[in-house]
Structure 1
Amino acid sequence: MSGTMEPPGGAYLHLGAVTSPVGTARVLQLVFGCTTFSLVAHRGGFAGVQGTFCMAAWGFCFALSVLVVACEFTKLHGCLRLSWGNFTAAFAMLATLLCATAAVIYPLYFTQLQCLPEPAGCTARNFRLSASVFAGLLFLSYASEVALTRARPGQVASYMATVSGLLKIVQAFVACIIFGALVHDSNYGRYAAMQWCVAVYSLCFLVTVAVVALSVMGHMGALGCPFDRLVVVYTFLAVLLYLSAAVIWPVFCFDPKYGEPRRPPNCPQGSCSWDSQLVIAIFTYVNLLLYIVDLAYSQRIRFVPTL
């Protein structure tokens, strides 16, 4: 009679979700994330777009980390209609980028060695310094998860855990930086050639997001042709498109015939179109390099869609 009884509830808990190296990194993410935004919210303080971004990034990463740890610990991720390996790998890479950005922005805009004016005083300064330290530790904890879960050469893994899959997240993140500069007084509507560059950024971003979404949802087999071959073809086309943008954008922004080769002396700090154009040019070359590296790796990846 006792042999037919269901196993106790503890048997359904996966202790490795918090005791394995990856599990330990995720627990540290929860600890460092909660500590960081608690220090800022309690006495450190934040303001403006920069502070709001940092708090949003830390809050988003903490919330999803709680979901990941809870699902891993209770094994409920098996009930979700998505590829769990692809989801966790994509989230870890995105969280690494978000936390790295916040770890740079918050100290840059809010941290100083001198005490703040009263009533904040030295207490707020100390809280901000502590938050900056924990923000750096939070970034390292997410980066360690990426390093631990990244597929090694020749290893069969989920697509988002491969170098090509991780680069897709970085490419989309860089594209968001480009879009932010575009809407910040970049004057991209002056010439049709510059609008072509905007179309390139938008098209590549949308397809990259679609690749990530299909991977996370586990629908890669629904395309009717090999997913890895489609990825290689798309990445090759993205290299060509970004190559055209890398040539066209600087010419129509910094060539004396069409734009300004140097920053205008009367251009106001923080709202200068030349600055936005320079940021777009720099990150265009960054994404071009990322797509080239992606093309080199995507030709030799081995992954299992159901992982």
Structure 2
Amino acid sequence: MPVIVLEAGAFTSPLFLVRTWEVLSGCTTFSLVASLKQSNNNSSDHHRHPDTLRIFCMSSWCFFFTLTLLIHALSVLQVHNLVPVSWKNLTVTAAVSGALMSLSAAAVFPCVVVADRQRVTPRLVAAIVASCLTFLAYASESYVLRAQASELRGYMGSMPGLLKVVPVWGGCTLLPLVVEQLCGPQAPAHDAQLLVYGVMYGVCFLMSLVTLVVILGDFAGRCFLPFDKLLVGFSLIGVLLYALPTVICFIKVLGHSLHPELLILEAVVSSLTLLAYTVDLALSIKLMCCRSSMCCL
């Protein structure tokens, strides 16, 4: 039976401190928000929005709290080598994804508060502050991991790797926003258009998720197609599918359509995701051309 030796220096390292910060702030955030939801259910205020955005925020905080706690425990116990994934890629992916999703939740949560017409209380202010601190914690871990040597941070710590995380974040954020606009009592008449956009976002999200699974599981050599060509195809499809919804979102924002706060969030997230797909497409084509030229030599 292996003996686990805990080093004293591990408890003072920057990674240990920021991950502890993430666990504490994440737990504080969703605990405060859960208590707000319970108190709000007892009120007689009419809810203009369904619980889609609230579920999105709570799911983001709870998921990354659980994932960070697991990564934290495996790192402290030094048994992460038993995990059948690329550990250095997993930690970077979890940190960057946690930062992006925490940022989305911190931006969406005030929309939920405004929609619920909640009275400003110290607990509500504490929940908003805690959500911002959770984002700062994950952003700090991302910075610490990015500051490491390239062989320690893995592929996901490089620019091409980070660009693979942004579309997953975009899909996770945009799908709840589309559902919120479709299910709201002031839903627009062109529901079919929003539904088509939701399908586009969903397709791109699944492609990006498959890419992450292949990278984290080191399955690139087992793909039925060359992985670099597969990445070029996924990025091209992402650019094509995101281009139209992004333009339409900005037109709606300028036209002062319904759900202005949701449209602004959708426009910002979709434009950032489209930018990530575009840059990733250029880098993937450049990498594929470089490999082809080397094979011809």
Q: 1:189 aligned to 2:185? A: no
Show CA shifts across 1:247-274 (max 9, x none): 6x579x87xxxxxx9457xxxx55xxx9
* Pairing of 1:115-130 with structure 2 (within 5 A): 116=119, 125-130=121-126
- In the TM superposition, residue 71 of structure 1 has moved relative to its aligned partner by 0.7
Matched with 1:166 is 162
Cα 1:38–1:278 shift into 2, 3 Å: closer
Q: Give the Cα–Cα distance (whole angstroms) in 1 for the partners of residues 33 and 77 of structure 2.
A: 31
Structure 1 gap ranges (5+): 1-5, 117-123, 255-260, 302-307
Structure 1 residue aligned with 2:109, among 106, 110, 122? 106
Deviation at 1:82, TM superposition (A): 1.3
Contact 2:111 2:261 (C-alpha < 8 Å) held by counterparts? no
Deviation at 1:145, TM superposition (A): 0.9
Q: Does 1:295 align with 2:290?
A: no
Asked whether the equivalents of residues 16 and 23 of structure 1 are also in contact (C-alpha less than 8 Å), the reply is no
Q: Distance between the aligned counterparts of 2:230 and 2:102, measured in 1?
A: 31
Contact 2:204 2:238 in 1 (8 A): yes
Query: Is the contact between residue 32 and residue 134 of structure 1 (CA under 8 Å) also seen in structure 2?
Result: yes
2-structure distance, mates of 1:289, 1:198:
19
Q: 1:159 and 1:46, CA in 2 relative to 1: closer, same or farther beyond 3 A?
A: farther
Q: Distance in 2 between matches of 1:45 and 1:108?
A: 18
Matches within 5 A, 1:200-279: 200-223=200-223, 227-228=227-228, 230-243=230-243, 262-263=255-256, 270=259
Aligned amino acid, residue 64 of structure 1 = L
Give, in whole Å, the separation in 1 of the partners of 2:246 and 2:38.
40
User: What is the CA-CA distance between 1:107 and the residue it aligns to?
Assistant: 4.3
Other-structure match for 1:24: 17
**Equivalence for 1:143:** 139
Q: Which of 49, 65, 77 lines up with 1:74 in the alignment?
A: 77
**1:119 corresponding residue in structure 2:** none
Deviations 1:146-200 (A, max 9, x none): 1221378x93442222222222222122223433344433635369xx94x6664
* Bigger CA radius of gyration: 1
1:28 offset after TM fit, Å? 0.9
Which residue identity is paired with 1:295?
A: L
Higher helix share: 2
**DSSP 3-state at the match of 1:85:** helix
Write the deviation string for residues 190-227 of structure 1: whole angstroms up to 9, x where unpaired: 69xx94x6664343222111001111222122126653
Select the residue among 20, 31, 36 that pairs with 2:29: 36
Give the structure 2 partner of residue 132 of structure 1. 128
Match of 1:257 in 2: none
Amino acid at match of 1:21: P
In 1, Cα distance between the equivalents of 2:105 and 2:263? 23
Residue 42 of structure 1 and its aligned partner are, at CA, apart by 5.1
Taking the aligned partners of 1:79 and 1:158, their CA distance within structure 2 comes to: 18
1:88 to 65, 86, 91: 91
Secondary structure of the residue aligned to 2:210 is helix
What residue number does 1:155 align with?
150
**1:144 is matched by which residue type in structure 2?**
S
SS of residue in 1 equivalent to 2:192: coil
**Which amino acid in 1 is paired with 2:157?**
A
**Alignment-mate amino acid for residue 14 of structure 2:** P
State the Cα distance separating 1:51 from its structure 2 match: 3.7
Give the share of equivalent positions with the same residue, in percent: 30
Distance 2:33 2:245 in 1: 40
Distance 2:127 2:264 in 1: 31
Q: Distance in 1 between matches of 2:25 and 2:262?
A: 34
Asked if the contact 1:34/1:62 (under 8 Å) is kept, the reply is yes
Contact 1:40–1:46 under 8 Å retained in 2: no
Q: Is the 8 A contact 2:235 2:281 kept in 1?
A: yes
TM-score normalized with structure 1 length: 0.68
Aligned residues: 266
